[in-house]
Amino acid sequence: MRFSRSLLAPGLILAAALLCGGWFLQQGIAQDRNVYFQARLLQEVLDRVAADFVDPVELKALYGTAIDAVIEELDDPNTEYLSAYEWDNLRINTEGEYAGVGLEIVRQGDWITVMSALPGTPGERAGIRAGDRIVEVEGESARGWNPDRAVMALRGRPGTEVDVRIGRPGIEEPIPFTLERATVQILSVPFTHLFQDGVGYVPLRVFSENARDELEGAIEALIEDGATRMILDLRGNPGGLLDQGVALADLFLDEDLTVAETRGRTRSQNSVLRTGQGESFPGLPLVILIDGRSASASEIVAGALQDHDRALVLGATSFGKGLVQTLYRLSGGNMLKLTTARWYTPSGRSIQKARVPDESAFDDVVLTLAGQWVQRSDVEDRQPYRSFGGRRVLGGGGITPDLRVLPDTLTDAEEAAVLRLDRHARGFSNALFEFAVLYIQERPDLPPGSAIGDADLARFRQHLAEQGIDAEAAALERAERYLRFQLEREIARRRAGREGEFLRLMTADPPLARAVELLARARSQQELFDLVAAEESLADSAVPAAGGIARDGSPGTGSP
């Protein structure tokens, strides 16, 4: 049989197309899998653009743009490329003699955000708060900066100044601050306190190189003074040295128990951190306080002791900083800091919390009497896990407390009034300091923690007016509770240091009061767990009443 050419030609063309298309398809797959081909292709594109683009283009700049695009595509604020110059500056600033402003920072969305203003540092004295965003440094926008670049800009010689502009929730215009750099030296344990019923209290502010030894010595001293129960306060602790976190957990756990683990894509990034010795304080009932500013090593410790049923965790869900970065040295002295793994608690909960978009970062938040922003609720849709003792614990990023108790919060009217004051944040902080010093000079024998009278509060309002803080009288009246608290705290701090400030703060600290009350009733760690379980069971079966204390143990927030 003969086929006409008109029929044969389309068939041959189709067969050729299928064969060639398959060959080309296989070639495409091979090319996609061939890293060397892709690298050569990129080189060809860059060379052609540099050589023939209508306007002059520098090849070095094109490479830099390509590297930046790769980093940006990862959508990870912790991964960054550091040029040799940037790396040298960062190393000198962090390893040599340097001064800073005392701000612990992270990148959230497009902005560098303050996680904590460390006690006694220039940033804290100026009135910068957790949650503030650094929008400008020395006249340059900080949008898109990574934390290392912000560190280099904020650090410098002691006594030099740095101008920053701060974005704050509820304030339309950025707030200007001038910070004088100073050598920052922070004690991990600034003081201790012994409550009635043998309840000891130890605040751990940062995981420095001596954190474990300081904490162990503090607890031993409290036990010698009669403590039989302990509160470890990790609120506001941004973390620090990881090895100190593991060593600190070692104080409370039996030997060879998992403290945390890392999980990455490669076997080399997977590791398990374990305790190395028997616990130093067996049988000591323990409550750990955390909040939204507890991060990194704080979360590793709280998560480990919660999973091993060694501590009752109380407060608010922690920050959720659980990524591991590895430094890779590149050619030419350049460096790549790459996120290579995530931290997990012993029960398998990821510590890393998904970051929310910029526009929703301050949804469902309320301002506390102490001037911090907290979320009203953050436990919805969290995956349940089980501790090794069978208790229910929640995943979903950060460490969710066993018992959620919020700080004392402001009403809507009080919050609006405080935000008006915040437009003068720098001036308000200076006026607060000046008035507190004057007040102490006038009353040198007044006991620390004393309340101020209405006449003194009226004098303070007048002092604010004299300093040019022009919030109207009605706003100052609505902010009276906040003004009184802040002034009494400042007076106590200037008179008796951090412990004096604590004595004032503890009278308006629901999480601390709840911890003390529970520990006073419990003779063992298990009794502590049983008390909370019994109260939760009773609350589940009770009919909610109007007003009073919220179900989660937090004070109700009023609205006018």
**Parallel, antiparallel or unpaired: strands 323-329 and 335-344:** antiparallel
Residue 397, Ramachandran bin (φ over 0: left; ψ between -120 and 50: alpha; else beta): left
Asked if 377 and 417 sit in the same domain, the reply is no
pLDDT higher for 447 or 96?
447
Domain hosting 320: range is 193-324+339-404
pLDDT 10s digits, 4-39: 444 444 443 334 444 444 444 455 555 555 778 888
Residue carrying structure tokens 């339309």:
172
Asked if 300 and 400 sit in the same domain, the reply is yes
Asked if 280 and 380 sit in the same domain, the reply is yes
173 within some domain: yes
Task: Give the distance from CA 1 to its chain's centroid.
Answer: 83
Q: What is the CATH number of the domain that holds 106?
A: 2.30.42.10
pLDDT 10s digits, 221-242: 999 999 999 999 999 998 888 8
Asked if 161 and 203 sit in the same domain, the reply is no
Cβ 58 vs Cβ 116: under 8 Å: no
Asked if 502 and 457 sit in the same domain, the reply is yes
102 within some domain: yes
**Average of pLDDT values for 100-120?**
84
Summary mean pLDDT of the chain: 84
Asked if 259 and 380 sit in the same domain, the reply is yes
Per the structure, the count of domains in the chain is 3
Give yes or no for residue 186 having a pLDDT over 50.
yes
Asked if 245 and 359 sit in the same domain, the reply is yes
Q: What is the CATH number of the domain that holds 205?
A: 3.90.226.10
Asked if 395 and 417 sit in the same domain, the reply is no
Cβ 41 vs Cβ 28: under 8 Å: no
Q: State percent of the chain over pLDDT 70.
A: 85
Give yes or no for residue 557 having a pLDDT over 50.
no
Asked if 137 and 249 sit in the same domain, the reply is no
377 within some domain: yes
Active site residues per annotation: 296, 307, 321
Last residue of one domain, picked from the residues 404, 421, 446: 404
Burial tier of 201 (Cβ tally within 10 Å: 0-12, 13-18, 19+): buried
457 within some domain: yes
**Parallel, antiparallel or unpaired: strands 111-117 and 103-108:** antiparallel
Asked if 286 and 384 sit in the same domain, the reply is yes
Last residue of one domain, picked from the residues 123, 146, 180: 180
* Residue from 271, 277, 290 nearest 344 by CA: 271
